[in-house]
Structure 1
Amino acid sequence: MSHRAAFLDRDGVLNEERAFVCRREDFVLLPGAIEALTRLQAAGYRRIVVTNQSGIARGLYSEQDYQALTDHLRQRLRAAGVTLDAIEYSSPSARCAPAAVSPGLRL
């Protein structure tokens, strides 16, 4: 069985792009983000968020800080009836060598 999937960057696609978003008060969903995710969900697409988190490797925030913000995102979306199939991040010290999202992320 094949599945259709939409891979979405977090910063600048779902939320306002700011330098090193790691706190709830800095996290602002973009207008239309929830509606777009709702449409993808209704159309049967798997919704997978991929995000670069170089701030972890730079020591600007911890993996726990990142996870808390990720949990906040999931809660906000769940309140709107949207679920995500996965959220994966890349950090030079986390899952793969480059700072950019790469094939090293799990699918």
Structure 2
Amino acid sequence: MKTAGIAIVSFIFGALLSGLIGFKFAMGIGYQAVIGKLSDNVIFYRQIEQGDSELTQFAIESSLEWFISMANDGENSIWVSTTDSDKQILARAKELQSQIQLKNSSK
């Protein structure tokens, strides 16, 4: 009876640990997708800025805040391990957002 109890507890502990590792992995992949999108937004906005394509700039502007919010949530989560590169991309995205807000407020 004692062996069966230990086996059940070990199985539950293993399943729980596997679930937590899987969840952390999924959260990390989601966070990397957000960071990649923020990086794309910064690069595309800079390129378009010289060509002055209003529609594309507006699309990037409107999604930038949402992705920054998601990246902040991921960065503050225990499930995601951020790198220095991720933090730099997020900082550049925030800098771009501030620039856009300043530009829009001066219109």
TM-score, shorter chain, exceeding 0.5: no
Which structure shows the higher strand fraction?
1
Q: TM-score, normalised by structure 1?
A: 0.29
The structure showing larger relative contact order (alpha-carbon pairs under 8 Å, at least 6 residues apart) is 2
Which structure shows the higher helix fraction?
2
Q: TM-score, normalised by structure 2?
A: 0.29
